Structure 1
Amino acid sequence: MQRIIKNGQVIDETWHLLDKDATLEGLSNADDLIVPLVLWREHAHALKVRDGGLGIWLDSDEEVEEIAGDLGHFKVIALNFPSFVDGRHYSSARLLRERYGYQGEIRAVGDVLRDQLFFMQRCGFDAFAIRADRDPHDALQSLQDFSVCYQAAADQPPLFRRRQG
């Protein structure tokens, strides 16, 4: 069983991340599923009435605007990083938190490494599925790499606003 980092802790994964070519056939009605955008587009009506939890995952070339009207249906939004150098979903996480007010879990999946976690958290991610060949306990420590941030981000206002209060 995979272990993920969620809300500052390493926990056992309970959600099933479906492959991009998954179909509705053979899916359990009670499992918590994170479905690819293509499956959501084709079968949203059937996925909405399932008993299990529902999440969606977007590849790096898929935009959050495509699901903006459906955010209330998802407990988890997983944003896939196909490569360490592909940072498009940093913006996606900020859009979900700041423009669309999404309060559910935003999870980084794919080629997610320790060096990215602190900055991902600043953009609005609160869960991380670390690459399988890496230690999630080691990666967890990266969330404490910096004690003060000057810039505004999804997780806190700029430093000058924090000092005035």
Structure 2
Amino acid sequence: MPSKIIKDGVIVDDQWLLLPQDTTDIPEGPIIVPLSLWESKKDILAGREALGVWLDSDEPPEHIASALENFDLVAINFPVFVDGRGFSYGRDLREKYHYQGEVRAIGEFIRDQLFFLQRCGFNAYALSGAELESALDTFKDFSDSYQAAIDQPEPYFRRH
């Protein structure tokens, strides 16, 4: 049975297989490969249907900028709760590289961060051990944002 994620504000089955860092075999079906596997097997993986890549917190999106058209999904790993580099990576993918595919948060983030992840361009969230139904309420924690962001390009004073 597939696990569940939050994507575009709803709970959905996760059809993707997240491959670990030490993977050498490439299974069939929708897969999310670590950057190291993409770099070593690019010739085999390029052009594959249903391909995603995941970046660790020390692997900024510039590593895949020239290859973004190959990926339906880019997952950003948050290895520890206090590592916030992934927020910047999400924003870079959307603003700097104009990536239109799924940007998914994976790893050690908490539901209280969902609203802010969304503001940075994330649209999918693989929460570990969380109540997904109650996590959806987190997106309603704030009625309006003052600052401009990916989800609201104009600051509050220009909207009102």
Change (3 A) 1:26 1:124: closer
2:132 aligns to what? 136
Q: Structure 1 vs Structure 2: percent identity of aligned residues?
A: 51
Give yes or no for the alignment of 1:145 onto 2:111. Answer: no
RMSD: 1.1
C-alpha distance in 2, partners of 1:139/1:118? Answer: 10
Larger deviation: 134-143 or 73-82?
A: 134-143
1:112: Cα distance to partner?
2.4
- Equivalenced residue count is 158
Which one of the candidate residues 30, 38, 51 is aligned to 1:40? 38
Change (3 A) 1:26 1:66: closer
SS of match in other structure, 2:75: strand
1:162: Cα distance to partner?
2.3
What TM-score, normalized by structure 1, do the two folds share? 0.92
SS of match in other structure, 2:144: coil
C-alpha distance in 2, partners of 1:92/1:26? Answer: 26
Give yes or no for the alignment of 1:9 onto 2:6. Answer: no
SS of match in other structure, 2:64: helix
SS of match in other structure, 2:27: coil
C-alpha distance in 2, partners of 1:141/1:2? Answer: 20
1:71-123 Cα offsets, whole Å, 9 max, x none, are 11111000000111111110000101011111110000011211110000000
Unaligned runs of 5+ in 2: none
Matches for 1:30-69 after TM superposition, within 5 Å: 31-50=29-48, 52-69=49-66
Which runs of at least 4 in structure 1 moved beyond 2 Å after TM superposition? 160-163
Unaligned runs of 5+ in 1: none
1:19 aligns to what? 20
